[in-house]
Chain A
Amino acid sequence: MITLMQARNLFLATAPVAAVLLGWQWLTFAEKVLPTLLPSPGAVFGATIESLANPFFLNDLKITLFRLLSGFGIAVVVGVGLALIGASNRYVGNVLRSTVRLLAPIPKIALYPALILIFGFDNMSKIILVFVDAVFPILLATYQGILRVEPKLIWSARAMGEPPLRCLVTVALPAALPSIMTGCRVGLIISCIVVFLAEMISSTDGLGHVLIYAARNFDTVNMFVPIILISMLGLTLNILFNMLRRRLLAGH
């Protein structure tokens, strides 16, 4: 049974989204704006469904996903690995912190032309750009998570004869998992954004290129499609990630 409170919350949560869609529909239906400037929501969603049946478009989607997940995967491995090394040694940790402090505020997208020059125009430069952008939040969250682990947990494990380095993997890493997952979620969204931008700036395939191609042809409907899809992709990955998180953090 739905209580009054739940009904009110459901209304509050859906009303603004519905209002945006209705306002959009009204603007186009009452011909307040030119359809070449703002196509109707129906046209945009129709084009989105149509695109999802188009093999060329699906190929672009697949390429974007491949670049996104490869870059993100490398970032998770390297980020967590470096954070573990940094947390195990004070001097390494100090160098690591300074490196992050120095590199984090730099717009990584500016490195993109250099990556193109060194790694070529193809997948490699884009995957590395995604990695470079996603690694910092993961590294930082893992490092801070491990440093915040209750020292008594480590002492107990040490007292039971675990060597210090194994403690890091068997005790500190699982204890820092909530923080690591938070860092990974931020990194995942950043990956989505960066792969799309890289494809917009210089690419011949992928979702970002679909947007640029549509913009060059003043094909407004198809400019909305990739943006809607990248937003959906981000939301879906986020939901999958939350499910994984709930499983992994069942003990926390």
Chain B
Amino acid sequence: MIRKSISTIGVPVLVALGILALWQIAALSLDIDGLPTVGAAFGAIPDILSDPKTIAGLAASLTRMLVGFSIAVVFGVSLGLMMGRSAAMETAANPLLMIFYPVPKAALMPIIMLWLGIGDMSKTLVIILGVSLPVIYHTFQGARSVEVKMLWSAAAMGDGRFGQLFRVVLPAALPEIFVGLRTGIVLAFITMVTSEMIVRQTGIGNVLFNALDTARYDAVYATIVIISVIGLACDSIFERIRFWVLRWSSETDELAVGSA
């Protein structure tokens, strides 16, 4: 038990320290302006976080991210469940999704802004687009592999098609759905940061490139550290939620890897 917790907590900490050590060695041996030391970068963090405008922008971004994520989950899970249980729905939706899959969602930002303006609507919509596909895909996979006998039992007990969908298929697909949701939450954050880098109005992505443009290199690295920590926090908070919701299932942990 103790050994296990050492290897699950201790090793990642050691790995993080190892990465910081590599960074420090590279900074000292390269000795270029473009790569400050670990100390210099971490020293710039309080400076960035004490700016109330940055904090307000970050809070607004994270709120949009959660709103976009929630809308995408409702939409993606519904569509995924229908695709998983109806062959007609699957054939109809697949080609559209295939075409949409390789499109960089954050790259749609300039066009969406042309249509919906520069406000919250555009920024939230881009996040919805970024999150939807993995949620749809994993829900579909989960719904498709539900055991038919469970559906028969539900039907025998008088559940209609919609009753079956929500009382049998949804819970049975939940472990797989949560794999999609985890990829989704990471993607929501990535899409948010990327769209801020492209549009350059507010938010942490804008802070990052402002620091680059004004040649405050320690601030560039400090912002990267802040973004990384937020990304890690999103993922591990979500893991807690997933673990708690799925404590009844025997699902093993799967790592989420995604990109905008």
Contacts and interface: CB of A to CB of B under 8 A. Distances in A.
Interface of A: 8-9, 12-17, 20, 37-38, 94-95, 98-102, 104-114, 116-118, 133, 136-137, 140, 186, 189-190, 192-194, 196-197, 200-201, 208, 211-212, 215, 220, 223-224, 227, 230-231, 233-235, 238
Given A20-B96, A112-B197, 12 more contacts: A8-B88, A37-B114, A98-B14, A104-B256, A106-B232, A114-B221, A133-B259, A193-B103, A194-B260, A197-B106, A220-B114, A234-B103
B1 interface: no
Contacts of B259: 108-109, 133, 190, 193-194
Give the secondary structure class of A's interface.
helix
Interface residues of B, number: 63
B70 to A, nearest CB: 19
Contact of A114 (B19, B111, B115, B224): B224
Task: Give the 8 A-B CB pairs with smallest separation, nearest first.
Answer: A234-B102, A117-B34, A105-B235, A215-B110, A193-B104, A98-B11, A12-B91, A190-B259
Contacts of A100: 255
B39 interface: no
B167 to A, nearest CB: 28
B227 A107 contact: yes
Nearest to B195: A197
B102 A227 contact: no
B208 interface: yes
Interface string B87-120: 0100111111011111110111011001100000
A101 B19 CA distance: 13
Interface string B210-241: 01100001001101100110011011100000
B64 to A, nearest CB: 16
Interface stretch (B50-58, B145-153, B172-180, B186-194): B186-194
12 contacts: A9-B91, A13-B95, A15-B92, A105-B234, A106-B231, A107-B194, A113-B212, A114-B34, A193-B102, A194-B259, A230-B107, A231-B102
Residue from A109, A111, A133, A231 having most chain B Cβ neighbours under 10 A: A109
Give the secondary structure class of B's interface.
helix
B169 to A, nearest CB: 21
A189 B255 contact: no
Nearest to B30: A118
Interface of B: 7, 11-12, 14-16, 19, 30, 32-35, 88, 91-96, 98-104, 106-108, 110-111, 114-115, 186, 189-190, 193-194, 197-198, 205, 208-209, 211-212, 217, 220-221, 223-224, 227-228, 231-232, 234-236, 255-260
Contacts of B221: 114
Contacts of A193: 102-104, 259-260
Contacts of B91: 9, 12-13
Contacts of A230: 102-104, 107
A227 B115 CA distance: 16
A208 to B, nearest CB: 7
A9 B114 CA distance: 36
A117 B107 CA distance: 23
B194 A113 contact: no
A111 B208 CA distance: 10
B206 to A, nearest CB: 11
A228 B212 CA distance: 31
